[in-house]
């Protein structure tokens, strides 16, 4: 199979890999600026857990979404037309697909976490959810970020901009594999690099996220829209936050 995954039409906008890089940089830049402002105008430090959840993590996604909107506008298109950002009522059921995917990944990789005695997943949102010191407000914001902001922004970026850029040049199989590898690899930035075992943690995290990204890319190409992938991603994140936070809460009670 050598034909492009989705041959571009005459008027289809041409997104590039550099667009993805720009979106990623926008997220880090926004979080950095907001953290500096927080330190300058208040006693809240960027390392404050609640501040990170309520302010910094959402700020990162807001910055990325703003740049995505700018990129789409420069291409003379819209989120719906250019990136296939289309939601249908039936997409809600894909939340259950996310739940099933979560269970499968957890069962597959749990032995590795036990072998290497890792107590963190390497995913910022999930590891923060496990902290029992979070306030109710922080937990609500975290859940909304995990179930709405992260799936929408990341799907627009990796199954929208990146996938459509690769699909012009590669076969379906190569497009799915490469886009999934990129999605998994960029999460090195969510790993605590000060941890002596960060490389082990990253080595376990990458194949997990790759196995999550493959079906997301496949269903996006199959349906030619982002709705199914967004709700699958949302279900995967939300259920994991609920289970991790709930387990920690009940552990504190016992």
- As separate numbers, helices (DSSP H) first and strands (DSSP E) second, the chain gives 12, 0
Per domain, the residue ranges of the chain are 17-253
Q: How far is CA 227 from CA 36, 83, 159, 164, in A?
A: 36, 11, 11, 15
Whether 251 has a pLDDT exceeding 60, the answer reads no
pTM: 0.88
Whether 202 has a pLDDT exceeding 50, the answer reads yes
Radius of gyration of the chain (CA): 18
Question: For residue 1, what pLDDT is reported?
Answer: 46
| Dihedral angle sign, alpha carbons of residues 111, 248, 102, 188 | negative
Confidence of residue 130 (pLDDT cuts 50, 70, 90): low
Per DSSP, 169 falls in state T
Alpha-carbon gap, residue 244 to 249, rounded angstroms: 9
């Amino acid at each position: 199979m050598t034909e492009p995954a989705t041959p571009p039409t005459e008027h289809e906008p041409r997104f590039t890999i550099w667009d993805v890089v720009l979106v990623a940089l926008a997220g880090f830049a926004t979080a950095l600026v907001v953290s500096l402002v927080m330190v300058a105008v208040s006693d809240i430090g960027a390392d404050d857990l609640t501040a990170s959840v309520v302010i910094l993590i959402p700020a990162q996604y807001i910055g990325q979404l703003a740049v995505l909107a700018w990129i789409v506008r420069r291409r003379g298109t819209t989120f719906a037309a250019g990136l296939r950002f289309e939601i249908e009522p039936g997409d809600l059921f894909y939340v259950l697909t996310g739940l099933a995917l979560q269970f499968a990944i957890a069962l597959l990789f749990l032995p590795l976490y036990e072998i290497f005695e890792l107590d963190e997943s390497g995913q910022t949102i999930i590891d923060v959810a496990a902290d029992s010191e979070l306030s109710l407000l922080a937990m609500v914001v975290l859940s909304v970020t995990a179930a709405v902001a992260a799936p929408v922004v990341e799907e627009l970026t990796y199954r929208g901009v990146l996938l459509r850029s690769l699909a012009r040049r590669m076969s379906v199989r190569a497009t799915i594999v490469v886009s999934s590898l990129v999605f998994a690899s960029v999460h090195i930035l969510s790993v605590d690099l000060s941890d002596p075992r960060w490389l082990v943690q990253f080595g376990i995290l990458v194949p997990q996220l790759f196995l999550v990204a493959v079906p997301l890319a496949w269903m996006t190409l199959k349906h030619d829209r982002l709705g199914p992938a967004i709700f699958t991603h949302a279900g995967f994140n939300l259920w994991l936050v609920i289970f991790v936070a709930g387990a920690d809460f009940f552990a504190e009670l016992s």
